[in-house]
Amino acid sequence: MEARQSELEAEGDKVLIVPTGGAHPLGFAAHALTFKEMIEQSEAAGDRLDWIFHTAGTGTALPGLIAAKLLTNHPVCFRSIAICAYEEGGWMSPSVIVSRVKLIMKRLGADPPPDHRIRAEIDIDQRFIGEDYAVPTAESIAAIRELAKAEGVFVGPVYTGKGFAGMLDHVRGRRVKPGSNIAFLHTGDVGNLFEIPEVVGNVARA
pLDDT tens digits for range 35-72: 999 999 999 999 999 999 999 999 999 999 999 999 99
Question: Is pLDDT of 204 > 70?
Answer: no
Q: What is the CATH number of domain 2-200?
A: 3.40.50.1100
Show me where the domains of the chain are located. 2-200
pLDDT band at 77 (very low <50, low <70, confident <90, very high): very high
pLDDT band at 203 (very low <50, low <70, confident <90, very high): low
- Residues near 200 by Cβ (< 8 Å), separated by ≥ 6? 193, 194
pLDDT digits (tens, 9 = 90+) for 130-154: 999 888 999 999 999 999 999 999 9
pLDDT band at 193 (very low <50, low <70, confident <90, very high): confident
Query: What is the DSSP code (8-state) at residue 53?
Result: E
Q: Tell me the whole-structure pTM to 2 decimals.
A: 0.88
- Residues near 58 by Cβ (< 8 Å), separated by ≥ 6? 19, 20, 21, 22, 23, 92
| Lowest-confidence region among 4-18, 153-167, 184-198 | 184-198
Asked if 61 and 68 count as a contact pair (C-beta separation under 8 A), the reply is no
